[in-house]
Structure 1
Amino acid sequence: MENATLLHALVYNAIDGIIIMDDVGIIESINPVACKLFAYTEQEVLGNNISMLMPNGDKESNDYYLQHYKSTNQAQITGIGRELIGRTKEGYQFPFKLGVSEVKYAGRRIYAGFIHDLTKQKKDEIRLKNYASHLEELVEQRTKTLKETIKALEKSKEKVSITLEKEKALSKLKNRFLSMASHEFRTPLSTAQLSASLIEKYAEPLENPNIVKHAGKIINAVTNLTTVLNDFLYIEKLEVGKVKANLTCFDLEQLAQEITEEMQLLSKGEQQIHFSHYGVQKRIKLDQNLIKNSVINLITNAIKYSSDTSRIDFTTEINDSHCIIKVKDEGIGIPEKDQKHLFKPFFRAHNTGNIPGTGLGLNIVARYIALMEGEISYSSVIDKGTLFTLTFSNT
């Protein structure tokens, strides 16, 4: 009695629908879950064929399976879960999975049908299928877009290649012209400078200030033009890779003193160049010519952009880890908005006015320092001057 009560409780409280039927499919028992699934009351179902819970087509199939099993004992329904379509009292159809087990009880055969609602699972499958289809369409679309992009990139690459070849040709032509111009103009400029100097010398006995004045203008103009041509020549050599760092050991203090004496002769008015060396060490391994050209360029700028009575400080320092070279002036300074462009070729700050220059000097210096694996930095304040610092490793 207790076992029967326990079995009844298990059937009536199961999470899936359970239907008990005889060997011809007549329903003898149905639990509450199955009643809820098919929207029937227990009294409406008992004594009816299980086919009432299925569409007409499945009724014939279900009767066939039962008859086939009874005559052959071959399981085509029992012990095998099948997906079927159920029909509620209102005619609503839904998918479910049916598993049937044969039970021999009191000398007769009965069948227990276990019903699991597949409505949510089927919706999820449809949703997943639609999502997969959407992904396939999206992948196809993206693939198509990618192919179109690749084609466009290939066309752009061809155009860029053609443009690049033209640029290379123009660059070669420009470099050849600069090289030719620099060399071809150098001789007549030297002749003009020499002639102007001779005129100035021969005019001394005449004591004619106008001759001296105009001869000086000619010399200055020739000097400025020679500087421009030299800058172009340096750029051309850098562009074609002719300039290489030739590292040798030399006395930095001695070189700096020679540069100071040379540049003092080119200073304006009462300008004074003050040189100082810090540290016991004097020798350093760098490219002496590149260092000299870089420092001359920085001091030339300091002279050019400072007043006739200003002071220019030139210092060198060698310690255990670094070699540091500084050039500080009291000139016009560099506007803050222009500082980010300072080392670009042909760039000149907006406050340079009529002061001559090519805008190539600092670009050349930066590239020379890079060849020696050094760093160039600066600080500048308008109308208070600029400090350039060259730093090299001494390890």
Structure 2
Amino acid sequence: MTITIFLVEDEIILARSLSRKLKQLGYQVIGTATSGEDAIKKILEHPPDIILMDIVIQGEMDGIQTTQKLLKSIDIPVIYLTAYADDETLDRAEASGSYGYLLKPPKEREIHATLKMVLKKHKDAESLKKLIQESQNSLDEKSQYLSMTSHDLRNPLTAIQMSSDMLKIFDESWDRQRKLKYFERIQRAITSINGMLDEVSLVSRAESGQLPFLPQPLDVVAFIQEIIVEFEPLSENKHQLQFQYEPISETPVLDKILLRHILANLLINAIKYSPEGGVITLTLQPTSEGIEVQVADHGLGIPKADLPHLFDRHQRASNVSRIAGTGLGLYVSQKAVERHGGTISVESQVGEGSTFSVKLPSCTCLDSSPLLQES
């Protein structure tokens, strides 16, 4: 791609000579101006790759003042043209944010070397600026996530504290059944905390492209039954958890930790967003390529406008803002599904509920590389 240059020079003969030299060197002069006011107008309309700016020009502003005003609106490298090499002029030029200067009349070799150097410096500066911005964005997201997680941790920690206090106070007067109720509350809180900590670990690894992957042959029916038993206390007997399945003839090769996170997250969401007494159904069936697991509820449902972005990082449905959540569970679940070479999708209707479908190949490649390749 040809590098474009805008030339600000009020000496017509020198401007023509410079334009000719630049063309011979393979550059394209896309515009010229003799005053700062005219230069700003033209440059903002059609930005070049580099600006060659004479310091002494026509109009109310000199080249340095013109550069300072330009750089408030646009980031383009500026090289000064000057017949003066005194310290005062060079100090002003350096302080204005330029990338360098050429003494008039410049030679072709000096022009070409300076332009190449300036382009590299500007490219490096842009890369550094992008890296800094990405790092800042990452820090902001991590800070936001830690803030949300610490807030969400308070509820289960409070439940543990209060239940423990009650058990201590009424240890001698309560019967076994009543004590069991508070022990179950503690167990639910611990399960919730463990889930949050697992999510923190998986989010960090997924974002850095280092999600561990250790597939092994898995009795998926027994595995899901164990998860159902584990999550029944979490529903506080307010929801019916049902598991329906068809026989699986071929034992799938899956990562237990990642599969557990996928199913746990879908079950937690179904419990969280379903009304008391609602039925949550987990269905397992074979497919031509492997297995499909569905988690269906009759809860709030997801607005149609939210569906395309539901698996994005920090995205949550617009109708659940009053319910605690980080917006990262589905993001990590999708990464875990993709690590298996599978897909995850959702069908939902507001007020009727949602069905999440996870399709996984039955024979995932037994490559235990820890890296998750991001596209």
- Indicate the TM-score class for this superposition, using the shorter chain for normalisation: 0.5 to 0.7
1:394 to 362, 365, 368: 362
Residue 271 to residue 162, structure 1, CA distance change in 2 (3 Å): same
Find the aligned partners of 2:166 and 2:267 in 1 and give their Cα distance. Answer: 27
Mapped contact 2:252–2:361 kept (Cα < 8 A): no
Letter matched to residue 287 of structure 1: D
Letter matched to residue 297 of structure 2: D
Which one is further off, 220-229 or 318-327?
220-229
Residue 220 of structure 2 is matched in structure 1 by: 252
Find the aligned partners of 1:268 and 1:191 in 2 and give their Cα distance. Answer: 17
Letter matched to residue 163 of structure 1: K
Tell me how far 1:337 sits from its aligned partner: 1.1
1:271 to 220, 239, 255: 239
Residue 323 of structure 2 is matched in structure 1 by: 355
Tell me how far 1:387 sits from its aligned partner: 0.6
- Name the SS for the 1:283 alignment partner: coil
- Name the SS for the 2:252 alignment partner: strand
Counterpart check, 1:243 vs 2:211: yes
Which one is further off, 337-346 or 253-262?
337-346
Tell me how far 1:265 sits from its aligned partner: 1.6
State the Cα RMSD in Å. 4.5
Aligned pairs for 1:162-177 within 5 A: 162-167=128-133, 169-170=135-136
Letter matched to residue 296 of structure 2: K
Counterpart check, 1:308 vs 2:276: yes
Residue 319 to residue 180, structure 1, CA distance change in 2 (3 Å): closer
Q: Higher RCO, 1 or 2 (CA under 8 Å, sep at least 6)?
A: 2
Mapped contact 2:270–2:299 kept (Cα < 8 A): yes
Letter matched to residue 389 of structure 1: S
2:167 to 201, 210, 217: 201
Find the aligned partners of 2:186 and 2:246 in 1 and give their Cα distance. Answer: 41
Residue 133 of structure 1 is matched in structure 2 by: none
- Name the SS for the 2:275 alignment partner: coil
Mapped contact 2:159–2:185 kept (Cα < 8 A): no
Residue 51 of structure 1 is matched in structure 2 by: none
Find the aligned partners of 1:394 and 1:268 in 2 and give their Cα distance. Answer: 34
1:103-153: per-residue Cα shift (whole Å, max 9, x none)? xxxxxxxxxxxxxxxxxxxxxxxxxxxxxxxxxxxx999933499744459
Mapped contact 2:167–2:182 kept (Cα < 8 A): no
Aligned pairs for 1:1-395 within 5 A: 143-145=28-30, 149-151=48-50, 154=119, 157-167=123-133, 169-170=135-136, 195-204=161-170, 205=172, 227-281=195-249, 283-394=251-362
Mapped contact 1:193–1:219 kept (Cα < 8 A): no
Which one is further off, 160-169 or 297-306?
160-169
- Name the SS for the 2:212 alignment partner: coil
Which one is further off, 361-370 or 222-231?
222-231
Residue 148 to residue 348, structure 1, CA distance change in 2 (3 Å): closer
Give the length in aligned residue pairs: 255
Mapped contact 2:301–2:350 kept (Cα < 8 A): yes
Tell me how far 1:254 sits from its aligned partner: 0.8
Find the aligned partners of 1:283 and 1:222 in 2 and give their Cα distance. Answer: 32
Find the aligned partners of 1:357 and 1:185 in 2 and give their Cα distance. Answer: 9
Find the aligned partners of 2:254 and 2:361 in 1 and give their Cα distance. Answer: 10
TM-score (norm: length of structure 2): 0.56
Give the unaligned 5+ runs of structure 1. 1-138
Letter matched to residue 331 of structure 2: N
Find the aligned partners of 1:354 and 1:162 in 2 and give their Cα distance. Answer: 39
Tell me how far 1:281 sits from its aligned partner: 1.8
Find the aligned partners of 1:275 and 1:231 in 2 and give their Cα distance. Answer: 24
Tell me how far 1:380 sits from its aligned partner: 0.3
Q: Which has the larger radius of gyration?
A: 1
Find the aligned partners of 1:384 and 1:179 in 2 and give their Cα distance. Answer: 30
Tell me how far 1:365 sits from its aligned partner: 0.6
1:351-375: per-residue Cα shift (whole Å, max 9, x none)? 1142211111111111111111111
Find the aligned partners of 2:361 and 2:274 in 1 and give their Cα distance. Answer: 31
Letter matched to residue 168 of structure 2: Y
- Name the SS for the 2:326 alignment partner: coil
Find the aligned partners of 2:337 and 2:327 in 1 and give their Cα distance. Answer: 17
1:304-354: per-residue Cα shift (whole Å, max 9, x none)? 000111101101122442211111110100001111220112222121142
Find the aligned partners of 1:230 and 1:156 in 2 and give their Cα distance. Answer: 42
Letter matched to residue 235 of structure 2: S
Find the aligned partners of 2:318 and 2:143 in 1 and give their Cα distance. Answer: 29
Tell me how far 1:189 sits from its aligned partner: 9.8
Mapped contact 2:188–2:234 kept (Cα < 8 A): no
Mapped contact 1:334–1:349 kept (Cα < 8 A): yes
Find the aligned partners of 2:327 and 2:188 in 1 and give their Cα distance. Answer: 19
- Name the SS for the 1:266 alignment partner: helix
